[in-house]
Amino acid sequence: MESSTPTHSPLNGRNANLDAIRGIAVLGILFLNIYYFGNGYLGYTNHAVIPWYDNLIDIFNSFFLEARFLTLFSILFGVGLAIQIDKVIDENQANKVRSRLKWLTLFGLLHGIFIWFGDILFTYGLAGLVALCYIKQPLQPMLNKARLFLLIGFGSMFIIAALLNEPLLERGSVEALAHQQIWSGGYTEQLIEQFSLFLAIAISTPLSSMWYMAGLMLLGVYLYRTGVFELGFERKPLLLLVIVALSLSTVDSIFTLAASPLLQSLSPAIVLISALPTALVYIHFVVKICQNNSNILSPFQRVGRLAFSLYILQSIVMVLLFRYLAPTLVLSLDRPGYVAIAIAFSVLQLLLASLYLRRFNQGPLEWLWRKLVDMSHKPAPAKSTGSAPY
160 C-beta neighbours (distance < 10 Å), count:
16
53 C-beta neighbours (distance < 10 Å), count:
12
Please report the pLDDT score of residue 380 as a whole number: 52
The 10s digit of each residue's pLDDT in 96-143 is 899 999 999 999 999 999 999 999 999 999 999 999 999 999 999 999
User: What confidence tier does 94 reach under pLDDT thresholds 50, 70, 90?
Assistant: confident
Among 3-7, 150-154, 304-308, 342-346, the minimum mean pLDDT is found in 3-7
Give the ranges where the chain is alpha helix by DSSP (H). 16-33, 52-64, 68-86, 91-114, 121-132, 139-163, 174-183, 187-204, 209-225, 228-231, 235-257, 261-290, 298-305, 307-319, 329-332, 335-356, 364-376
Please report the pLDDT score of residue 161 as a whole number: 73
Q: For 241-250, which contacts have Cβ atoms below 8 Å and span 24 or more sequence positions?
A: 241/277, 241/280, 241/281, 241/284, 242/277, 242/281, 244/277, 245/274, 245/277, 245/278, 245/281, 246/63, 248/273, 248/274, 248/277, 249/62, 249/63, 249/274, 249/278
pLDDT at residue 258 is higher than 80 = no
At 93 the three-state DSSP class reads: helix
**Geometric angle at alpha carbon 53, from 49 and 58, rounded to 5°:** 90
CA distances from 117 to 40, 112, 121, 199, 223 (A): 8, 4, 11, 9, 31
The 10s digit of each residue's pLDDT in 233-247 is 999 999 999 999 999
Please report the pLDDT score of residue 171 as a whole number: 84
The 10s digit of each residue's pLDDT in 326-370 is 999 998 999 999 999 999 999 999 999 999 999 999 999 999 999
2 C-beta neighbours (distance < 10 Å), count:
12
Instruction: Tell me the DSSP string of 152-179.
Output: HHHHHHHHHHHHT--PPPBTT-HHHHHH
Angle between helical axes of 68-86 and 209-225 (0-180°, round to 10): 60
**Geometric angle at alpha carbon 206, from 95 and 164, rounded to 5°:** 155
Closest alpha carbon to 115 in 311, 331, 373: 311
How many whole angstroms separate alpha carbon 55 and alpha carbon 61? 10
Most confident of 5-14, 27-36, 263-272, 376-385: 27-36
How many whole angstroms separate alpha carbon 117 and alpha carbon 37? 9
Q: What is the mean pLDDT of the chain?
A: 89
